[in-house]
Chain A
C-alpha cells in the first residue's frame, strides 16, 4: 500500500465510525468476490433453523425458541412453532445457545517480536532508518490487518475454547497501531478480517525497540504526552514539515477506541490521568488486580479488559522456600478469583480476555464460584466487548442481521458439567465436543451368556468407564466413543483375559457382535440401568458469599483493612525539640485536626486523647530530602529528561514507606536518579501509608527537578557508553545548551502569544516541547533544582551557569566536596543536602569527609542530611548524631538537619519541620534521646494520624503471621477457593 492510501485509510477511519463501516459487511461475510474459484460456482444460502434451543438474552434470561440464520447472518429469533419454510431445521432438543464469544485482547496471526536487552552496551540514541517516529517505540502506523497471517492452529485453539471473534493487535511498542477484528472460521485472511483498524493500542513497554529511550516507566508516560502534542502539531501543517507516518497515524486513529495495556492498578490510574490530560478515555487492559482498589479504578470511568490468569498457588510445601513468598502473593492467590465480581459490585464495566489459556474455562468458573453472576460473565465475553468496539450490530448478541456467530452447549454455560458442543462462525458449523451427558450412568453389559456391570462417568466433558466388581472393587475399562461407534476392552476375569468389544449406538445404549475369549461369535449389549449418579450437584456460589479475607491498604504486609484515623491528642510532659527559639523544653503539645494546636506548659483540652510523654522525646517528623523509595523506576536515560515526572511512578504499596515511618520519617523527596545531567521532576510525599500515590503527594508543594554532575552522568562505569557528555566540560555545555534552548522556546511562544487574535488565527502555534517547558520553569523560578554533585569544580560550575541565567540552584545534594566551596554556596544561596559519612565508593568521593555537614553549616549554608538509601533513611536521626560527632555541631542544629532544614530546602518550612502552633502535626515520640542509637520511634504521626505505632506494629506482626499461616494451610490442604 502506498503511503498516500495508508494515510487515506486513517483519515477514513477517523471520520467514519466503526459501526458505520460495518454496513458493508453483509457482502464481506460471503466469499471473497475478487478471487477465482478452482471449479464451478458454489454459492449457497446456508439457511438453518436451530430449534428447541435455550436462547441467551443479554439481560441474562433465556428464551426457548428457534434461531434462524441465512447467508452467515442471523435472520431472527422465533418461537418454535413459527419456523418458516426454506430453513433446514436442526433440533437442539433443549440445548443452550449463546452469542459467539469475543476475545478482545489477542495477537492472533501477528508475529511476536523479540525484546532486546541492551544492558551494558553502548546507548542506542537514534531510531532505526526510515521515515518514521523519532522514537522507535511509537509504532502508531502499524496496522494489524496488513501483517495478519492465518495461523490455522491458533485459530482452531481459540475456536475450541469457544470463541468466534477476536480482536488482534501486535503487542509491541508503546504505540502499537491498530487492531483488526477477526472471525475464527476457516476463511482466508481477506474474509477472516471483518474489520481492520478497529481500535488503537498502546502500552507502557517499548517492546522490541532497540533505541535506548525510554528506559523507564516515567519515560514511557513522557513519550506518550509528547507524542500527543507532536501529532497534533504535525498534522496541523500543510505541507508537513517532514515525513513521519507514525505521527499521521497517531492523529488519524484518535477517534478509534483507545486501548492501553498496564501492568498493575497503579499504572492504570496514571495512564488514565495522562489520557485525561488529552481528553482521551482509555480502555484499560489490566493485570487482573483492580480489586485491590476498585474505588479508584471506578473513579477513572474507564472500561476494563480483564485477564483471567489466576495465579498458581505459590510454592509453600517447603517451609524455608515459603519464607520467600510474599504476603501479597499469598493474598493475591486467594483473592484474584474475586476480581471480576468485585468489579461488578463497584459498577465497573469490563470485558474478559482468555489469554489463549487452556485453563480459561476453569478460571472463569472459579470467578463465577467467587460470586460473578453468569450473566455478567457471559456479557463480558459478548455484548460488552462488542459495545467497546462499536460493533454491537454485528457481534456480541443474537440480534437480527448480526453475524451468525453462536455457541451451543449442553447446559448453562458456566456450570461445571456443561460441555461446549458446537461453535458456529459466520454461519459455518464447527463441532467441538459430543454431548455425552445423557450417556453417563450405570450399565449392564451382556456378552453372550456373561453379564457385567459398568459405570460411565463424565469428567471434564470426557466420558470414562469402570467395571464394577463385588465388594466395591473396580477395574479400569478402555473406552473409545464416537457419536455412532463404541470400542471397549477390559480384563474380564481373574486370569487376565481381555474382552474386546466394538459396536454401535442404540436408544438405550450400545450393542454389537464380538468374539468371546474362547473364539465364539456372540451378540452383546450395553444397556443403561440408572440415571447419571452425579446430577448437577455443584451449584454456583451465591454472589453474596463473603471474601475469605479483607483487602489490605496497601495490599502488602503491614497494610491494614481500615486506615488509621486522624486523632486529636495532648502529649503531656515530653521533652520537646521545638526547632523554634524555645529550643528543647519539657512541655505539653496539643494536636487538633492534623495541626499543632498549642505548645506550652499545663495545656488543657477536652475531647482529646491524653498521651503521657514523661521521659520521652518529641521531635518534628524526619524529612528525607533525597530518597528513591516507593518508585517503580529511578532513571530515564536521555541526556536531558526534564520532562519525566516521578509523580507518574510513585509506588504507594512499597514496604519502605512503612519502614521509614518506623524510623520516624514523615516525608521525603522522591528524586530521579543521576544517570543524566538533567533528570526528572520530583515527587514530594508524606508517608500516608495506605493512601494511593495521589494521596501521598504533598498538596501544593513546590516543584523540583533533579540535576546531576560528575561520574554518573559521564557514564563512567559503562566503558561502552557513547552518550554526550563524557567529560565535566561537556556537562556544563549540556546545561548551557538546555537553558539557551529554553530561552529561545520561551521567546517563540511569547511572540506567538503577543499576536493579535486575527494574526493567531492565521498562524499555526509553535510546537510544544515538554523538555523546554520544564527548563523554562526553572528559569522562571517556578521549579527548583536539586543537583547531585561531588567535586568542587562542578559545584562551582553549576552555580556559575545558574548565575548566568539569573536563577539559583536551590539545593546541592550529595555535595560531598561542598566543604571546599561552602562560602561560595552560601553566597549563591544554595543549600546542601549531604550524607553524614559516605565516601570512598567512587573516585569522586575520595575526599568526601564526615565533617562536610559541619563545615558547610559553619560557612552559612542550610544543611540537611539525607539518605539516598531505603535502609539508612529509617535511621536518619543517627546520621544527624554523626554531625555532632564529626565537627561538633550542636545537638539542636544536628536534629534540624533531618527536620527543619530539609523542610526549608523543600520550601515546606511554613508547615513542617518544627513544633509550633499552626504547623502540620508531623511528630515522632521517641523512647530516648533522638540522636542516640538507643532511641526507638514509638509513634509517628503524619498530620495527627498515627501511621506507625509500636504497639500496633506488634499486633500487625501477629496478624501477618496468622494470615500467612491461614493461607499456607489452605494451599497445602488442596487450595479449594
Chain B
C-alpha cells in the first residue's frame, strides 16, 4: 500500500485559547514494503502524523491518500473503518488496551471487528500468538494475570491478527528489557519480509532507526525537515545536531575510529555487526 500525504495541516482546538498547529503543510510519501523511521523531539508532531494515517485524526487541510482511499477533513466514518482494516497501529504501551476475559478472545477482538468470522479469527489469533512465542498455557488466562512483557506480546498479536498491510509502531519497545527489545525488533524485521509489510517506526532510539529502517523522516515543530535514506541522514552529524538528535552508537564509534585512521566503510548497521566485522578485519 502506497501512502501519499499531500499538503496536510492539522490544527487542534481551532479558535480557542488552546489553538495549536501540530502539523504544517506536510507532503511526503510512504512506499509499499519499505521500513520507515520517524524521529523528532517530543511535541514535533510525530504522533499526530501517525494518527493521520488511519483516520484517528483527519487533516484540517490537505489529503491523505492510501491507495484508492482518500482521507480528508470530512471523510465519512465508513470509509475510515475500511482504511483501518489495512493500517494497524501499535500505540505506546499497547498492553493498556487489553480488556477481554481471556488472552485468546482479546487477540480475536480486532479481526472480528473487521468482519472476520469467529473461526477464522481464532485461527489467526492462534497463529500470531504462536509467532510471538506466547506460552499456549496462557491462552485461556485473563490478560491481566500476565507479566508486563507477555501483555505487550498479546497486545501486539492483537494488532497483527488483523493482518494489516501497513504496521505503524509508536515506541514499541518502551519499557522493555534489552533482550525483549531485540526480540521484538527482530520480529518486526522478520514479519516485514514474510508478510511484505510496510512498517513505520516512531521512536527516540536512533540505534533502532539506523539498524532497521530504510528511510527516515525528521520532524521539527510540525514540519518535515529531513527526508531520505537512513544511511545518509543518520551518518550526518551536522544534520542530526541541528535537530538535537544523537548519532547512532555504531556511527559515532566508526567516526571516532576514522579520526584515528581506521576507515570503516560501509558503517555496519549495529554494534553486533560491527564487532563481527572488526574481528574479521583483525584476522
A, B from the same assembly: no
